């Protein structure tokens, strides 16, 4: 019986490793294929010779993109959205999670406020009221239309307040005895102690802003105000070539549209791919520690 148990235990890591390897390949291989297409010639792409390694290496697609002001303008809008939207969202998340992390005896009505936030995760007004509200507030065609509606992420608040509740109360009590205010306690004790959770939520928030495209499509009436993902969706999925100048349309005959699309997809995903490794070590720890308590 003991021998069988040992054999099962030795087989499990191997099977687990194989499964994880296959799942990793499912994520990596499509990216490698897109990169290979972006660096291949148009003839190689159209004839189906490109797999996971560039064939007939060329930088024509990237040279073409470098001359497109529409792409870089959309990139600039997205960078603004990520910086401003991410900063506002994290600030509001911290300021909301801190008081909600207290007991009901310490903050009167805490449970009521918590339920008000939690209900918004279950019930929403719908797309049309959301659109009408933004329009009535005169936020259409502005950066604030992309930033303010989703500034308060209740899911992030729940994770952070649960993380705050696990911190030793002795730290806060000692600070109170020394005369520290709530803002000092929050920014000097809670935030430094909650860096794993904050790093994880920052990653969620920034990636969410970077990858969002639908709100830009319905809230922006002018293509020059599109964020990057909306621009890519319009060019690659909807194939709306009205965003291209006459020079660009003429140049499309010299290169493959597939190579240009692949290059734009790669450039659009590259910042997140470069940014993620710096926060990855906090990812699992922040999620686990922030979701233990209710």
Considering the domain architecture, whether residues 37 and 109 belong to the same structural domain is answered as no
Considering the domain architecture, whether residues 12 and 107 belong to the same structural domain is answered as no
Q: Which residues span the domain enclosing 11?
A: 2-46
Considering the domain architecture, whether residues 135 and 214 belong to the same structural domain is answered as yes
Considering the domain architecture, whether residues 17 and 156 belong to the same structural domain is answered as no
Q: What does pTM read for this prediction?
A: 0.74
Considering the domain architecture, whether residues 18 and 83 belong to the same structural domain is answered as no
Considering the domain architecture, whether residues 281 and 182 belong to the same structural domain is answered as yes
293: left (phi over 0), alpha (psi -120 to 50) or beta: beta
Most confident of 75-79, 203-207, 281-285: 75-79
Q: pLDDT for 133-165, tens place per residue?
A: 899 999 998 999 999 988 888 888 888 888 888
Q: Is residue 94 included in any domain, yes or no?
A: yes
Considering the domain architecture, whether residues 40 and 132 belong to the same structural domain is answered as no
**Could you tell me the CATH number of the domain that includes residue 162?**
1.10.3720.10
Considering the domain architecture, whether residues 19 and 104 belong to the same structural domain is answered as no
The number of domains in the chain is 2
Q: pLDDT for 88-119, tens place per residue?
A: 999 999 999 888 888 877 777 788 888 888 88
Considering the domain architecture, whether residues 105 and 205 belong to the same structural domain is answered as yes
Start-to-end CA span in the chain (Å): 41
Considering the domain architecture, whether residues 15 and 94 belong to the same structural domain is answered as no
Could you tell me the CA-to-CA distances from 199 to 82, 84, 98, 194, 232 in Å, in that order? 15, 17, 16, 9, 28
SS3 202: helix
Q: How far apart are CA 93 and CA 108, in angstroms?
A: 20
Considering the domain architecture, whether residues 215 and 274 belong to the same structural domain is answered as yes
């Amino acid at each position: 019986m003991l021998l069988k148990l040992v054999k099962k235990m030795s087989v499990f890591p191997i099977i687990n490793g194989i499964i994880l390897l296959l799942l990793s390949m499912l994520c990596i291989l499509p990216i490698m294929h897109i990169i290979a297409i972006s660096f291949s010639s148009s003839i190689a792409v159209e004839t189906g010779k490109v797999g996971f390694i560039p064939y007939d290496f060329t930088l024509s697609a990237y040279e073409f993109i470098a001359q497109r002001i529409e792409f870089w303008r959309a990139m600039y809008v997205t960078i603004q959205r990520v910086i401003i939207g991410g900063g506002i969202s994290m600030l509001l998340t911290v300021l909301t999670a801190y008081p909600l992390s207290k007991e009901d005896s310490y903050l009167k009505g805490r449970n009521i406020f918590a339920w008000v936030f939690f209900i918004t995760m279950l019930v929403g007004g719908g797309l049309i009221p959301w659109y009408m509200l933004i329009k009535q507030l005169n936020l259409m065609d502005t950066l604030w239309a992309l930033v303010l509606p989703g500034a308060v992420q209740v899911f992030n608040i729940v994770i952070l307040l649960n993380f705050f509740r696990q911190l030793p109360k002795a730290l806060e009590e000692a600070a109170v005895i020394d005369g520290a205010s709530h803002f000092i306690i929050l920014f000097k004790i809670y935030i430094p102690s909650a860096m794993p959770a904050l790093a994880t939520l920052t990653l969620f928030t920034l990636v969410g802003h970077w990858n969002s495209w639908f709100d830009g499509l319905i809230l922006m009436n002018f293509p020059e105000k599109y964020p990057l993902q909306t621009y890519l969706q319009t060019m690659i999925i909807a194939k709306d070539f009205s965003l291209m100048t006459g020079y660009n349309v003429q140049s499309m005959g010299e290169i493959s549209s597939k190579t240009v699309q692949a290059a734009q997809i790669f450039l659009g995903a590259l910042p997140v791919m470069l940014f993620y490794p710096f926060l990855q070590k906090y990812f699992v720890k922040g999620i686990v520690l922030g979701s233990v308590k209710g």
